[in-house]
Structure 1
Amino acid sequence: MAGEPPLHASIDGEEQAFCCGGCQALAQTLHAAGFGHLYGDQARFARPIDDAARREAEPVWAAYDTEELRAQFVRALDERRAEITLAPENIRCAACAWLIEQHLGSLPGVESVIANVATRRVVVRWRAAEQPVSALLAALAGIGYLAWPFEVSRSDRQDRHARRGLLMRMAVAMLGMMQVMMYAWPIYTHEATIDPGQLQLMRWASLVLTLPVVLYSASPIFAGAWRGLRQRHLGMDVPVALGVGAGFVASTVATLRGTGEVYFDSVTMFVAFLLLARYLELRVRQASRSGAEMLARQLPATCERLRAEGGAGERVPVARLRAGDLIRVKAGEVVPADATVIAGASELDESMLTGESRPVPRGIGDPVLAGCFNTASPLELRVAKVGAGTRLAEIVAVLDRALAEKPRLATVADRVAGWFVAILLVLAAVTGAVWWAWIDPARALLVTVAVLVVSCPCALSLATPAALAAAGAALSRRGLLLTRGHALETLASVTDVMLDKTGTLTQGRFALVRTQSNGDADADADAATCLRLAAAMERSGEHPIARGIVEAAQAQGLGHETLAIDAMRNVPGQGLEADLDGRRYRLGRREFVEALCEHGSAANWHAELAGSERRGATLVWLGSAAGTLAVFELADVAREQSARLLSELRALGVTCHLVSGDTPATVGWWADHFQISRREGGVTPEGKREYVARLQRGGAVVLAVGDGINDAPVLAQAQVSIAIGSGAPLAQAGADAVLTHGRVAEIANALKMARRARSVVRQNLAWAFAYNVIAIPLAATGYVTAWMAGIGMSVSSLLVVANAWRLLRAGKPGD
């Protein structure tokens, strides 16, 4: 990197200079392995962190060697070996992954290292007694990769195991289906011309190929049916297992006897299609997570605890904090517990907890909440509540209660499954008895099997999941991920939509919307010059307002980096003060700036700009001794598609509500701007939940849309909910769907897709019932043989699936 001295090392007896630690480590590793000729001037990696940054990071690394954090992040493989997942911050390519694997793999005790570029995770297995966790983190930092332990929760591992298992079962069923169809097709088309010996050989081959499908792929179906029977509940697994089992047993008996019809193809086809639908459902369902897991990931793992007698602090796990402890939270860190400020002044971003879009000032004596982000200056805090007693934990508890109270809407097929199975068993039994007693005992078994197969609830069991899977896949292509199975059915019935403001209808960030300069104070102080000066003063700031000013200057191409700002001073809660060309400037609150002005400010600005604050805008003043130079108006701005979303929701006949934690004046301004008649501001998370409950008591089916942790309770209370993907993880944990981008108009498209899916489900169910009404009497009277029943079952299922997957074309991006 420019301006930094090169690193030196001896390679093959020659002193070499390297641009960074990564290049040095790569060259040494390649030469040691005999591949020195591969190293060239094109490889560039990150420079190791400097000594000051290392001294600051070492206490944090050491904290991960404590018993509490080792239990949280390190997984014991046996008595000696352990495994940990690390998350490097700047891993970029396969070369980075290779370097990390080689460098960590060379450490004593390390057995294996797997670096995944796609997930940006590094899995290390090592002999725990030979290397502490801090040594692994330090080794990565030494080659330029600052990393932290990543907690792989139990549910993450279970999810991966479930996906892998279902995918393997589906693959076996698909392969079995294709191979069996190769033998079934000649039998259907040229059975009369096939030699009986070859015909029997093809049946045995089909039986062998179907065995793994029934015993392995379909085993969850039989297990689910058995559990349902033990609990005296006839779910959809019962008729599915009955159909698969009856088809397989009858085919096996016919193969063993050497006579009769077989329909192994129908069995394998049905299992393959059913598992495909279940796999699609599983993928979207696993996107949800529990509130407790998200809470653990929201709070930091360590914090700086101060000693009561004074002196330097120590980095400790957050789990060790107790009420009364003193802690320091630096700018850019998250508050680990509910506490009270005892020293310092800063501004905290509480938007994920309160819904307030602007950072709020906090000084001595003020309370701060766990999970808030410190944006400006260091704070010393006295811990008041930890763990389950924090405000964040209370919100999670409300979320969990709401999730427990949420009604679970069963699919139409599940509601009729019990009756269908009962009727099916009665019909099959009656048919077998009649044929055995009065018609033809020799055909009784085959006719009974034909009734079971022709009425096998393939089409019925696929009718709903196939349509929901197709609609879910279509919405996923457009960036809306369904996380609960009932979401589409409920979206189709929505009557009211409750919208949050910050981060939902608006972008949730400050943007410069207007700059007004005062030519009377300085003839050379035009708007562009003032913005350039303000950006130069704010260029190193992390405050949202600072970022808004700097981004505005960059967008206008103003070279604020070239201004030589001297004597910069940050006055917490007031603003900035600096010198430029021997002249003192202030940027910040009006009173702070006017205190520097010898002639005060332009009074006529006040009335003109006062109206801006009614929409939640923030006014940042710039001035010098000559007077006020400019006023920058920064405000939250509407998302690009917010107006389109509201227009389409009205066209669908849905009532919109704007409910936010922002001030009533701000909410009122935005409600007027979006033409929303039903609005309410200053609402707490519990208040939002009660607002939805009132609508529900009036018979409304409510869709809630939000993005912050404060929205989680209301997202859980509503019959169906959507979280903006850029928002807080806890909000997504309580939502039934997650919008993975900011194109909010897709929410209206989701309602349209849900209504289409409901129509397709009704069509599929109608076809399935009509098919059974026609096919069952024909099979019971002997007009439909077993092979005809197998074909009819397969065709019926294919029609249902084909009709459902029409939703994919209707849901292509850009429609």
Structure 2
Amino acid sequence: MSAVLAPAMRDARDAGSEPLGCYHCGLPVPPGSRWEARVGGAARSMCCPGCAAAAEAIVDGGFGGYYKNRTEFAATAGGDADAPELALYDEAGEEGEGSFTIEGVRCGACVWLVERRLCALPGVREVALNVALGRVFVRWDPALCRPSVIVRALRRIGYAAYPYEAHRHDDALRRARRTLLRQLFVAGLAMMQVMMYAVPVYLADDGTMDADMRALMGWASFALTLPAVLYSALPFFQGAWRDLRRGMPGMDVPVALGIAAAFAASCASLVSGVGEVWFDSITMFIFLLLGSRTLELEARRRATEALDRLRRGAPASSLRLRGDRLLRDTELVPSARLAPGDLVLVKPGQAVPADGVVIEGETDVDVSLLSGESQPRPAVVGDALPGGAINAGQAIVVRVTSTAHESTLATLVRLVERAGQGKPALALWADRVAAWFVVALLLLTVAVYAVWQVLDPGRAWQAAIAVLVVSCPCALSLATPTALAAATDRLLRRGVLAVAPHTLETFERATHVVFDKTGTLTHGCPRLRRVLPVGELHNEICLRIAGALQTDSAHLLSAAIRAAMPESGLQARELRFEIGRGIEGSIDGVVYRIGSAPFVAELAGGMARTAAPPGITTVWLARAGAWLARFDLSDSLREEAREVVRRFRDCGKTVVLLSGDEQGVAQAVASQLGIAHAYGGRLPAEKLAFVRELQKGGAVVAMVGDGVNDAAVLKGADVSFAMGRGAELAQLHADGVLLGEGLGPLADAAETARRTLRIVRQNLAWATVYNLAAIPAAASGMLNPWLSGIGMALSSAVVVLNALRLRRG
């Protein structure tokens, strides 16, 4: 907190009053704000529900003394790892995982150091640093480690770090951007002015300019270069000093050494009147390198846009109904306080605060934030709405079915936060190379200087500076994370969330794409077409028994049968579920089974009595020694399924249909879609075994599925995608999630994966070729510091701009 606010807080505390603005963070309180929290026995004004919740948590946790002793507001607190907020974070860290904002990460050496230092902490199980987002994800054993220990460890090696908070992280990015733009402006102004004095000296190389005028030009250039070196180049010197203190030189070290060496040599030449001055090269180098760093920061900012859009989609407050909902008596409450069963009024233009069901009104809702689908869809009484959906029509009343923390939007935010954590194989390779690149470069610089001292001492200093300046380890470090961040943002806008770090890389290499049928190639909304009694009970009784047995089943076929008999009037006991086979239960002392023919036959005895028509899924019902009924269900194919299958075939991938339905049903669907390989009647364990057999034969398998039954095979495949409407367990085990209703984004993901890997390889190839060509040229004296500076800055810019092409479209 600034020195202005701290005395103001002390004066207010001494006077027995509260500071102006929000009591927690100090920001202005919006007119008419109703947010407040009780601190020190008095109601304190708050600017938002977030501050109110934080203040209540601090007081409830027994840290009320924090407000009496603080010297700065909470918005900029956190310099001390033992601050009350961090202590509360320790108390809340029971789950043993979390994200931390980390500032100052610049290159592969930084990544290597951070991950190695945190992995050395007792109890730390997993560390994944996302350079593009400036965040590190850590999983730890709560019995052995705490968040405060992680923050202390990061600060001790020179990085500003604190538990991740969205607003604080965004503020840090904005501050960094403002500072960088100011430094860029000063460097650009200095460069232009110095060139005004340098050009006449270059033009007068025939001796027409006398020594006094040349010296005057040199001193003017020195005065103009000084602000660029002392202010604009400050990030490079600070980064280099931090790297040297921790014993792991990063890419700022050669940059800082190059600037310092060139400036020192120029000053020595200026004072002695012998030799060249390179003030114009220094200012140009600083300006171009800051320009490249600005592009990098802009790429990082864009990488966070998708997550920012999702966060803004969750309303901070909601209109909760109290009393008779017809009277529309509402109260404004924080969305975080909503509980299942609460009724909320959602006005036009407002977002649904949590998952719920429409109980009054009809409207259109916009779910583009969640699924990427641009067209609003109708919502009527009884329809389920996800948290984050925008009401685009009439006011509606929604009964909340989940807390805001457990809503679809909150789950999606957590999945997006997981995306980008960890690195694919190409990124790991680049990090290993970049970590040792700088050390090798410094040794090479010493060798170049020594060789030129023997050959031509007058050129030794210039050659050494050129080697330091021309090298570009940052291109190696930026090549992969920048491209992956741009690709992840593009996919999210198109309705695909790549969660695992290897998703795109492995999907591009996949040789086989294996599809589940129900809910994947079909809409997942099967309908009961016919009930065929095969025993002494008639249709209605069979439906009632089936409905009772499947009351607690989430399977799509069970839901279709229940829809035909919403209230069976019967109660089943001793239910036993066998995944992929069926359900057994007792009704009035009689044991029944419903499910596949082999499962039911174990109780009924004999064989199924009739065969179903092609393309029809059958569910059988029986009791001991008697077959009772056959339920015929069918599901319509997704309109885009045929085109998606064709696109994969055209790419040379083998498409396979792997289903738990009967072989005849699976074959009928495969024939309609042009899939040559169809395998039906596979239980979850058999699906997994099938995929592993493919892998043993050298195949790289991409699995696309929906539902609890697919969780095991999704986990076992090389890369997997779950339908966004599928079971939460399936999404948890998948490497990617299709957020919309259709399969179309899957084909887009394949194309994006291909483009991403191509651009990553281009970036790595460019960085490698550039360094292999430029460093020897500088060492041999072919490049002076001026050209070397341009080369390094342009090398980084090429990598970033090439990666940002992935955002188009």
Normalising by the residue count of structure 2, what TM-score does the alignment of the two structures yield?
0.48
Normalising by the residue count of structure 1, what TM-score does the alignment of the two structures yield?
0.48
